[in-house]
Amino acid sequence: MTLVIEDKESLEYAVDMVKRHNVSKTLQDCSLMVALQRLESSCDYKGPHLTDCHGRRYKFSVSIIDLDYKPFNKVQKWHDLEREMLKAYREKEQLHRCGKPSTSV
């Protein structure tokens, strides 16, 4: 269930936005690991598996790693970094629109 806080000037709204931001940063930094192992056709493996369009079966596992919650004290650092990235993007787009060659990094 999602809590909707309508008063954008309230402390609850600010706290909710910081929490959402931190969850977003945590998810941006995590990794999804997928492992597949082909099963021999003679194997009678009964666990969860995938079957491709040729009928070959694969055992699989999926893991999410690096889900450590990001600390509150880095919010300003992230904000500044995102502002700098947006500024650099806009400057590059402006150069591109003016017909000047852009240099790739």
Give pLDDT tens digits for 38-72.
Answer: 999 888 888 899 999 999 999 999 999 988 887 77
Write down the pLDDT at residue 105: 52
Can you state the angle between helices 11-29 and 75-97, rounded to 10 degrees? 70
The full set of domain ranges for the chain reads: 28-67, 69-98
Average pLDDT over residues 87-93: 91
Residues 6+ apart with CB under 8 A from 2: none
pTM for this structure? 0.50
The tokens describing 62, both together, are 């999926």
